[in-house]
A and B are shown apart, each in its own frame.
Chain A
Amino acid sequence: MASSAVIKKSDAVVKKRTFHRSPFYQGWKRFKNHKLAVIGMVWVVLFLIAGIIGPYVAPYDYRSGDFLAINQGPSWQHIFGTDNVGHDMFSQILYSVRSALIIAFGATVVSFVIGIILGLWAGLRGGIADMIIMRAVDFMMTLPGFLFALILVILLGRGYTSLILAIGIPGWAGYARLIRSLVLGMRDGEMVEAARALGASQAHIARRYMLPNVIGSMGVALAFGIPGDLTQIAGLSIFGMGLQPPIPSFGNMIAQASDNILGFPWLLYFPAGIFALTLLAFLFVADGLQEAFSPKGGN
């Protein structure tokens, strides 16, 4: 009979889809359905590749300018043009990708590590430790992070490490607050109680029960954190507090180009455009991750 055949077929489909699928696999499937996120992902991957191999494939060195060809428009020789001392813009951008990535990832890791330690401590310990840490979080939240970073750069200097620290240190508060709330939500939940009833130790519960269940949310927070830190680096450079000028960076290029915006606008278009697209791509990915992995995203 036709109808029973139809029922059988749909049964088979359901079986195939729901068997042995881990929550992460399901999240990935939801992520794949998010078109913008996938496009963003492609751009992010290209950006990462550029960051890794960029300096090796760059047609020109970032230090040596060609004084006979300054402020040129795009051409076959210099596809993104050259700046006011004859640097090839394309090469400059390739180098900048690497420095931007190193600082952005480094800073995010720094804030994340501080945040996760303090957040876990506050959430699991409770009591006075919790109160002190959370008041510190409130304090950090009221400070303008950018100003704080600016002051730290002045104190620490303008190298890679100091920039990573300057941007990373003020950023921990948000992560700490997120992790604390996730831990609190689970600490008295049935799942943890059941695990305790089985004789699981605190450490075991933190490792096998809490961590795997917060990883999704933390990944989302990280994904949102990276574009934020990218903006901060560029912002610092525009204020003249980023990497020292011979080292190329998006902020430096944008700052320089904006001085000559009327004469040589393409010097602004390429770095600013690529930078903006990158931020957008990271945000799309973060958005897709949030939809795929946050507890409200279904399942």
Chain B
Amino acid sequence: MQEQPLLSIDNLHVKFSRSEDEVFAVNGVSFAIHANESLGIVGESGSGKSVTLMSSIGLLRENGKITSGTANFLGKDLLKLRPRQLEDIRGRDIGVVFQDPMTSLNPVMRIGDQIMEAMLTHQYAGRREAFERTIQLLHEMGIPDPKSRFKNYPHEFSGGMRQRIMIAIALACEPQLLIADEPTTALDVTVQMQILALLQDLRRKHGMSVVMVTHDFGLATNFCDKIIVMYGGKIMEMATTDQFIREATHPYSIGLKRSIIEVGHKGKEIISIPKSAKTLTETPAGCPFAERCTYKTERCHHEVPELRTFGIDHQIACHHAEEVASYAV
């Protein structure tokens, strides 16, 4: 028997109502993350990867609605909690780092105060301890001269530095779970690696779990223990990173892997996935990826493929996974 997962999301459905129609953003997503694990959720824009996580911690936009599902975190169903109780959990037990550090900080507040604020709001520490911990956090984030930087305003920092501050804020109360929503997308590649290394280091040191939402395959395979590929609001493939690298089989995963441009791979063909992702305005009758899939058959249009076990630590939602695997090898 495996230990209790830290966060387990079960059969989550989320839809957004627009003035003229409804968008089905998440259609039955289930996964679990255990203590000390890092999970990467990969997918194109609009695949529902961010929405899955944000809705589970109550950060849905007003027009979004969770139609069914549960999200168990430490024995509590986050989706059933009152807003007040969620506020207690967010920031204390679950930290969040967003994509754009340039606009996520309050421009009229000193950064030290912003880091302290998280601790004071959650009564995690008194003023004195909070101050000392802030200095310590800034130091851990690799920000030089933390004592004098404490008094700086966000506009006095570069993008990479601001993201470090965002991470410091997210980690201030030592959360057990960190949700990183494309934490490095807005940064330079060199800075990306620094931030990732920092996150990895902090994860080891504090023993926390990280869910990383990204569209960067390389980043996910480098950083995470487990990878989930999402498309059309559903999980297409889920595997441990090693398994995934070796035997990713879903046509969509293969397509994603082929469309990556790598340095030093001159001559290697880059194949893009035909057509582009569509916004789902009705529940699909078949596989959401069918339209763009080169392996599709009649069956794919009529029957929704369920996530099924394909190998050890490897699940896939494709009717033709076996055939695809035999072609691909």
Q: Which residues in A have some Cβ–Cβ distance to B below 8 Å?
A: 18-24, 126, 188-191, 193-201, 204, 208-209, 212-213, 299
Task: Name, among A22, A204, A213, the residue most crowded by chain B CB atoms within 10 Å (CB to CB).
Answer: A22
Q: Is B89 on the interface with A (CB-CB < 8 A)?
A: yes
A198 to B166, CA, bound (A): 10
Task: Name, among A18, A21, A22, A194, the residue most crowded by chain B CB atoms within 10 Å (CB to CB).
Answer: A194
0 or 1 for each of B80-119: is its CB under 8 Å from A? (1 = yes): 0000101111111001101110011111111000000110
Number of B residues with CB within 8 Å of any CB on chain A = 38
Tell me how far the C-beta of B90 lies from the nearest C-beta in chain A, rounded to whole angstroms.
Answer: 4
Find chain A residues with CB under 8 A from B107 CB: 23, 191, 213
On whether the beta carbons of A198 and B153 are closer than 8 Å, the reply is: no
Q: Which residue of B lies closest to A201 (CB)?
A: B87
On whether the beta carbons of A197 and B106 are closer than 8 Å, the reply is: no
Find chain A residues with CB under 8 A from B153 CB: 20-23
Find chain B residues with CB under 8 A from A209 CB: 106
On whether the beta carbons of B100 and A199 are closer than 8 Å, the reply is: no
On whether the beta carbons of A190 and B118 are closer than 8 Å, the reply is: no
**In terms of DSSP, what is the predominant structure of the interface of chain A?**
helix
Q: Is B61 on the interface with A (CB-CB < 8 A)?
A: yes
Question: Contacts A22-B153, A199-B89 given; 16 further ones with Cβ under 8 A?
Answer: A18-B156, A22-B110, A23-B107, A191-B103, A191-B104, A194-B96, A194-B98, A194-B105, A198-B96, A198-B117, A199-B86, A199-B88, A199-B92, A201-B84, A208-B117, A209-B106
On whether the beta carbons of B151 and A197 are closer than 8 Å, the reply is: no
Inter-chain CB contacts under 8 Å: number: 87
Q: Which residues in B have some Cβ–Cβ distance to A below 8 Å?
A: 57, 59, 61-62, 84, 86-92, 95-96, 98-100, 103-110, 117-118, 121-122, 148, 151-153, 155-156, 166, 169-170
Task: Name, among B99, B108, B169, the residue most crowded by chain A CB atoms within 10 Å (CB to CB).
Answer: B108
On whether the beta carbons of A199 and B104 are closer than 8 Å, the reply is: no
On whether the beta carbons of B117 and A197 are closer than 8 Å, the reply is: no
A18 to B156, CA, bound (A): 7
Q: Which one of A18, A22, A197 lies within 8 Å of B57 (CB-CB)?
A: A197
A85 to B121, CA, bound (A): 67
In the complex, the 5 A-B pairs of residues with the closest C-beta atoms, listed nearest first: A199-B91, A197-B96, A198-B91, A199-B90, A194-B104
Tell me how far the C-beta of A124 lies from the nearest C-beta in chain B, rounded to whole angstroms.
Answer: 11
A219 to B169, CA, bound (A): 31
On whether the beta carbons of A198 and B90 are closer than 8 Å, the reply is: yes
On whether the beta carbons of B122 and A199 are closer than 8 Å, the reply is: yes
Q: Which residue of B lies closest to A18 (CB)?
A: B156
Find chain B residues with CB under 8 A from A197 CB: 57, 59, 90-91, 95-96, 98, 170
Tell me how far the C-beta of B10 lies from the nearest C-beta in chain A, rounded to whole angstroms.
Answer: 22
Find chain B residues with CB under 8 A from A200 CB: 87, 91, 121
Q: Which residue of B lies closest to A212 (CB)?
A: B108
A208 to B121, CA, bound (A): 12
Find chain B residues with CB under 8 A from A191 CB: 103-107
Q: Which one of B87, B89, B100, B121 lies within 8 Å of A190 (CB-CB)?
A: B100
Q: Which residue of A lies closest to B122 (CB)?
A: A199
A189 to B153, CA, bound (A): 19
Find chain B residues with CB under 8 A from A190 CB: 98-100, 103-104
A197 to B86, CA, bound (A): 10
Find chain A residues with CB under 8 A from B106 CB: 191, 195, 208-209, 212-213
Tell me how far the C-beta of B138 lies from the nearest C-beta in chain A, rounded to whole angstroms.
Answer: 15
Find chain B residues with CB under 8 A from A208 CB: 106, 109, 117
On whether the beta carbons of B98 and A299 are closer than 8 Å, the reply is: no
Tell me how far the C-beta of A17 lies from the nearest C-beta in chain B, rounded to whole angstroms.
Answer: 10
A125 to B118, CA, bound (A): 26
On whether the beta carbons of B109 and A212 are closer than 8 Å, the reply is: yes
Pairs A–B under 8 Å by Cβ, sample size 29: A20-B156, A21-B153, A23-B107, A23-B108, A23-B153, A24-B108, A191-B103, A191-B104, A191-B105, A191-B107, A194-B96, A194-B98, A194-B104, A194-B105, A196-B59, A197-B59, A197-B98, A198-B96, A198-B118, A198-B121, A198-B169, A199-B87, A199-B88, A199-B90, A199-B91, A199-B121, A208-B109, A212-B106, A212-B108
Find chain A residues with CB under 8 A from B122 CB: 199
Tell me how far the C-beta of A187 lies from the nearest C-beta in chain B, rounded to whole angstroms.
Answer: 9
On whether the beta carbons of A19 and B156 are closer than 8 Å, the reply is: yes
A209 to B86, CA, bound (A): 20
Find chain B residues with CB under 8 A from A199 CB: 86-92, 118, 121-122
A188 to B104, CA, bound (A): 11
Tell me how far the C-beta of B109 lies from the nearest C-beta in chain A, rounded to whole angstroms.
Answer: 7
Q: Which residue of B lies closest to A200 (CB)?
A: B121
Find chain A residues with CB under 8 A from B62 CB: 126
